[in-house]
Copies of this chain bind each other. A is one copy, B any other.
Amino acid sequence: MQQLVEHSSEHEWRALADRFLDNKRGVELTAADRAIITDSVSSVKILPARTIIVRAGQPLNYSTLLLDGFMSRHIDDLNGARQLVAFHVPGDFVDLHSFPMHALDHDVATLTKAEVALVPHSALDKINEDRSDLTKKLWFSTLLDAAIHRAWLFRIGRLKAVARVAHFLCETDVRLEAVGLSEGHRYSLPITQADLAEICGLTPIHINRVVKQLREQTLCTYRDGIVEIHNYEGLCKFAQFNPYYLYVTNNPTD
């Protein structure tokens, strides 16, 4: 299913991977840790947008580190409706959980054109055996994804449509800022309103009205794939967003 489109040079992707791994908060990866991970990479690929790279139930023997672009994980219902269960930004170890689990309960796909590094499970096994400290850090990173799942449950279960979208835009701002892809609460989010609907558990039409409403309330503007948060404090408060669960050390609301 993976389509090999083009390659970065070895030098380029190593720099990318290192930059993102360096920027991960919550766990402190040492230079040695980062070297072990980048040395474990067996190949680097560039994938077109809208490509499903892992199907639910498919046995896997490698995990995917996202270097550039956006990816998602989703569950489809029988009528074709889709629920996104995760949204991934550069620096994320998208399906590291396939290492202990072997097969996943959902699909993994690119949302945009994306560059990924593949890490064989055999290399992760070696890390697990030899480096218990690094293993615990990798374990942590899969649990961070679980913490994000929980925030999404709160979002979909307890917030109204406008607050749900606001909450997601706040979360994405913090995550992108941690890897240098958001500045001044402004970032590129090249996904469709239909994607946003599948993230927030709403219909695309309603998302459109919600985005309009956020603009009219001068909280934030989302147009042409660019998010501009005009009133960050106000948006966080409105969305009941507290970034604690992202384990970002320099917490913007502290």
Asked if residues A240 and B153 are in contact (CB atoms below 8 Å), the reply is no
| Contacts A/B (CB < 8 Å), 8 sampled | A73-B150, A75-B150, A75-B154, A129-B132, A139-B142, A142-B142, A156-B157, A156-B201
Say yes or no: A151-B105 contact (C-beta < 8 A), given A100-B136, A142-B142, A158-B81.
yes
On chain B, the residues within 8 Å of A49 by CB distance are: none
Which residues of chain B are near A56, meaning CB under 8 Å?
A: 244
Copies in the complex: 2
Across-interface contacts of A78 in B (CB, < 8 A): 240
Q: Annotate A225-254 by CB proximity to B: 1 below 8 A, 0 otherwise.
A: 000000000000000100011010000000
Interface of A, secondary structure class, is helix
Q: Write out the residue numbers on chain B whose beta carbons fall within 8 Å of the beta carbon of A97.
A: 143, 146
- Given A100-B136, A140-B100, A83 and B157 touching (CB < 8 A)? yes
Q: Bound state CA distance, A97 and B136, in angstroms?
A: 11
